[in-house]
Structure 1
Amino acid sequence: MPPRSTRPADKFDDDDYPAYTMGRAAEMLGATPAFLRALGEHRLITPLRSEGGHRRYSRYQLRIAGRARELVDAGTPIEAACRIIILEDQLEEAQRINEELRGQAKPPV
């Protein structure tokens, strides 16, 4: 049996696999390609490029873009929306690390 990562179907199960073109990603989000380009300009998401130079997005990136779209639709400027999402991600990571460290700490004897 081939290793799991070499089976073609596994690529589409991978949240990080860049399966979606810019047009399809924009359609799925109900947004414009310009919105996706703006997210890249603000360094919220960095799409991979196909051999032809076209932007390709993963499901993970589309979830992030969807969160940005929610904030922008609620009236948050795109720059602020990108910063909010970055800070949310940093907070989540810090909380995860904190929980890990608490689990590793030995109770006083």
Structure 2
Amino acid sequence: MATDGTGRRPGTGTDPASEPASDAVRRLDDPDFPALTMSQAAALLGVQAAFLRSLDGSGVLQPHRSPGGHRRYSRHQLLLAARLRGLLDEGHTLASAEVILGLQDELADARATSERLRDTVDRLRADRDDGDTAAG
């Protein structure tokens, strides 16, 4: 997960409403594109808008802001909010839920790195074995 050093993803810095329609449609595949309004995001998550406002107010989730100050959410932010909601529903405080998410993300990154390293080792062994066979 790309973060701004605090465990949060930075905003995209562009206003979706100011883009040509064709550019905006292409960006819908980008998980960080702030395509959803607060009411759309709340409806998709099955939460009240106040929940999303509280995440923004606490600094845990920083939605993109339109020039008019309206919050816009990306798919990535919705996933983060859903994960937080699940931990809060389990009885965790917001602070502990944020720490848990950070640790889960670190663990996922470490597992992905380990898998890449395993693949590299396997490939190097196969190359070595192929070289030994060709030389022998």
CA deviations on 1:12-56 (whole Å, 9 max, x unpaired) are 232221011223212322223332233345554321121222221
| TM-score normalised to structure 1 length | 0.76
Superposed CA RMSD in Å reads 2.3
Distance 1:43 1:23, change over 3 A: same
Asked whether the 8 Å contact 1:11–1:17 carries over to 2, the reply is yes
- The residue type equivalent to 1:68 in the other structure is L
Equivalent residue pairs, number: 104
**How do 1:42-61 and structure 2 match up within 5 A?**
43-61=59-77
Give the number of the structure with larger relative contact order, counting CA–CA contacts within 8 Å between residues 6 or more apart.
Answer: 1
Gapped regions of structure 2 (runs ≥ 5): 1-21, 130-136
Which structure is larger by alpha-carbon Rg, 1 or 2?
A: 2
**Stretch deviating more after TM superposition (14-23 or 86-95):** 14-23
- The residue type equivalent to 1:75 in the other structure is G
1:85 aligns with 2:101: yes
User: Identity of counterpart residues, as a percentage?
Assistant: 42
| TM-score normalised to structure 2 length | 0.64
